[in-house]
């Protein structure tokens, strides 16, 4: 009797493990399958959304509307920042294009973009004119007229992002045997007083104003932001190389010199106490827990990392900031508290955000944003790529541990313990070997895919992306067809592709 019941209970345990495993793996298949089926469809939809918003009705060629939303909110303007982020996507397509008609089409769009920006740089606005700070204007009308209402100004990320996108275009254009005289007429030459070219104007502007406070990516606090500093740094360093390539040595060395000073001044953004990158050190925010923790620091790394080891994706402080953002948002948004185990966290801009996509002010609660959430997914894809490529890596800071331990624990939950050794309990000074690095890379790829899957769960059948996702209901909210949301989807999926490729070539099964 005793042994029979023992046998039965063993059988029950065995059967339930089997059911669990089967159920678990089929469920694992189903979320992955849904994701793989959705990604190509949403990519197509995103490109449609991006090109729909370039040269929109009422706009002159080369203008980009921030969203197809004219009312509540009215985003029917060319934001310098958002347009540059969009054109950076177009430049990537241009670099990849093979078919002559496609090359020509993209080249025409990019030349129009340069021309539209030549016009608006020379359009005086409430912030100033070409030589007195007018380049800091946040946005212009799509027909090229200045925006004369009140708005948070100055914004210095726009000229930095625009300079980087235009220089990338110019380099690819010259590589394809484009005309050097076009580049010197419209993009960069030695005329400075006033500048007669678009990128010379941008670089000479940011090289002068980089120490000053401005509105930041969210147009909320007028302070010195980590976001602007890292973007300006990249633009100046790229600008120095570009000017040198064209033979303008004076400009080149001047940009380098200023970039060096900016770089040495950026250590102030590190909090050694909390192990995080601060969004700013200048403005008061409400609670200690939420002070200066902002998703834009991770976005800054995505858009502003110059591939030189300075604030790389695997910088310990950057890694810990990403992990802390997850811990904050997983509890902050009700929609995250209800999510299934296959869904990652949806991310907002900063914890005490009080803009909901239409209204702003006391009592208004901020929401998850597509561009923040997809940016975080892209961050994990980038990190996975780096971990796949290392042959060994020494844990050189305790601020790497919280994210690594999280990956270790979620990794061991998603796998039966017999299959792999649990990955947690890393130590400072420990050197990770290839097999461990590949396990971490795999966990990062899963972490990233779960975030993309969470996005999928909140996008309607049409594939239309807005600015935000309601923090309670999980439905889309705010500006419809937000261009930057589509840009973020495309760039996240491009990173996914590169990351999977690196993983498969470095981490054989």
Ligand X SMILES: *[C@@H]1O[C@H](CO)[C@@H](O)[C@H](O)[C@H]1NC(C)=O
Binding site for ligand X (CB under 6 A): 48-49, 52, 68, 129-132, 141, 143-145, 190, 192, 194, 204, 211, 247-248, 250-251, 254, 261, 265, 268, 464, 480-481
Our CB check for ligand X shows the closer of 57 and 361 to be 57
Q: Using CA atoms, how far apart are residues 214 and 345, in angstroms rounded to an integer?
A: 30
Residue closest to ligand X, measured at CB:
211
Tokens representing 160 are 């930095």
Least distance CB 211 / ligand X (angstroms): 3
Question: To the nearest whole angstrom, how small is the minimum distance from the Cβ of residue 143 to ligand X?
Answer: 4
Secondary-structure percent of the chain, ordered helix, strand, coil, rounded to 5 = 55, 5, 35
Identify which of residues 201 and 383 has a Cβ nearer to ligand X in the complex: 201
Minimum distance from residue 213 beta carbon to ligand X (Å): 10
Q: Nearer to ligand X by C-beta: 311 or 387?
A: 311
Closest approach, Cβ 82 to ligand X, in A, equals 16
Burial category of 188 from C-beta neighbours within 10 Å (exposed 0-12, middle 13-18, buried 19 and up): buried
Q: Are 228 and 265 in contact (CB under 8 A)?
A: no
Name the minimum Å distance from CB 34 to ligand X: 23
Q: Tokens 């070539």 belong to which residue?
A: 505
Beta bridge partners of 276: 271
Compute the distance between CA of residue 217 and CA of residue 228 in angstroms, rounded to an integer: 8
Q: Give the nearer residue to ligand X in terms of CB position, either 141 or 440.
A: 141
For residue 185, the 8-state DSSP code is: I
Assess contact for 255 and 203: CB atoms under 8 A: yes
Q: What are phi and psi of 216, to 5 degrees?
A: 75, 175
Would you state the structure tokens that stand for residue 479, as one six-digit string? 């500006």
Q: How far is the CB of 265 from ligand X (least distance, A)?
A: 4
Q: How far is the CB of 114 from ligand X (least distance, A)?
A: 18
Task: List residues bridging with 369 in a β-sheet.
Answer: 468
**What is the closest distance, in whole angstroms, from the C-beta atom of residue 89 to ligand X in the complex?**
15
Which conformational region is residue 133 in: left (phi greater than 0), alpha (psi within -120 to 50 degrees), or beta? left
**Cα-flanking dihedrals φ and ψ of residue 315, to 5°?**
-60, 130
Q: 157: buried, middle or exposed (CB in 10 Å: 19+, 13-18, 0-12)?
A: buried
Identity of the residue, 119 or 312, whose beta carbon is nearer to ligand X in the bound complex: 119
- Report the residue number, 300 or 438, with the smaller CB distance to ligand X: 300
> Between residues 139 and 339, which has the closer beta carbon with respect to ligand X?
139
Residues whose CB falls within 8 Å of the CB of residue 364, separated by 6 or more in sequence, listed in order? 354, 355, 356
Rounded distance between C-alpha atoms, residue 141 and residue 452, angstroms: 33
> Cβ of residue 75: shortest distance to ligand X, in angstroms?
11
Render 48-81 in DSSP notation, one character per residue: HHHHHTBS-TTPPTT-B-SBS--SSS---SEEHH
Rounded to an integer, what distance in angstroms lies between the CA atom of residue 189 and that of residue 277? 37
Closest CB 60 distance from ligand X, rounded Å: 8
The smaller minimum CB distance to ligand X, of residues 454 and 465, is found at: 465
Cβ closer to ligand X: 325 or 465? 465
């Amino acid at each position: 009797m005793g042994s029979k019941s023992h046998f039965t209970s063993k059988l029950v345990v065995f059967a339930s493990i089997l059911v669990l495993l089967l159920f678990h793996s089929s469920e694992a298949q189903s979320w992955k399958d849904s994701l793989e089926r959705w990604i190509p469809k949403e990519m197509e939809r995103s490109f449609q959304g991006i090109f729909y918003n370039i040269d929109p009705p009422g706009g002159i060629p080369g203008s980009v509307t921030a969203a197809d939303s004219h009312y509540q909110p009215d985003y029917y303007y060319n934001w310098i920042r958002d347009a540059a982020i969009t054109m950076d996507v177009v430049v990537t397509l241009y670099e990849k294009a093979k078919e002559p008609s496609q090359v020509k089409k993209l080249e025409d769009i990019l030349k129009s973009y340069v021309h539209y920006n030549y016009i608006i740089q020379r359009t005086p606005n409430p912030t100033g004119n070409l030589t007195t700070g007018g380049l800091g204007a946040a946005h212009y009308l799509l027909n090229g007229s200045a925006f004369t209402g009140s708005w948070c100004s100055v914004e210095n990320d726009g000229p930095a992002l625009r300079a980087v996108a235009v220089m990338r275009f110019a380099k690819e254009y010259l590589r394809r045997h484009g005309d050097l005289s076009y580049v010197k007429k419209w993009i960069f030459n030695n005329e400075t007083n006033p500048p007669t070219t678009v990128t010379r104007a941008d670089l000479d502007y940011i090289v002068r104003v980089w120490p000053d406070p401005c509105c930041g990516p969210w147009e909320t606090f007028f302070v010195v932001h980590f976001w602007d500093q890292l973007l300006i740094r990249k633009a100046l360093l790229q600008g120095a190389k570009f000017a040198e390539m064209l033979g303008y040595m004076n400009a080149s060395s001047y940009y380098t010199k200023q970039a060096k000073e900016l770089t040495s001044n950026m250590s102030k953004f590190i909090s050694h106490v909390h192990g995080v990158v601060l969004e700013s050190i200048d403005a008061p925010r409400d609670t200690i827990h939420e002070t200066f923790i902002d998703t834009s620091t991770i976005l800054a790394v995505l858009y502003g990392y110059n591939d030189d080891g300075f604030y790389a994706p695997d910088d310990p402080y950057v890694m810990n900031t990403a992990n802390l953002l997850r811990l904050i948002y997983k509890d902050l948004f009700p929609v995250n508290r209800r999510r299934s185990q296959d869904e990652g966290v949806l991310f907002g801009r900063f914890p005490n955000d009080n803009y909901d996509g239409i209204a702003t002010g006391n009592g208004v609660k901020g929401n998850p944003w597509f561009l923040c959430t997809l940016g975080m997914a892209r961050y994990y894809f980038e990190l996975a790529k780096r971990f796949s490529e290392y042959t060994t890596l020494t844990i050189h800071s305790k601020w790497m541990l919280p994210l690594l331990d999280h990956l270790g624990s979620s990794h061991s939950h998603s796998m039966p313990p017999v299959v792999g050794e649990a990955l947690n309990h890393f130590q400072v000074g420990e050197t990770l070997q290839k097999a461990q690095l590949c396990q971490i890379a795999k966990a990062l790829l899963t972490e990233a895919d779960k975030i993309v899957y969470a996005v999928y769960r909140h996008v309607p059948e049409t594939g239309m992306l807005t600015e935000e996702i309601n923090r309670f209901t999980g439905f889309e909210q705010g500006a419809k067809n937000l261009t930057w949301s589509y840009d973020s989807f495309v760039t996240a999926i491009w990173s996914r592709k590169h990351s999977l490729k690196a993983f498969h070539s470095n981490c054989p099964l």
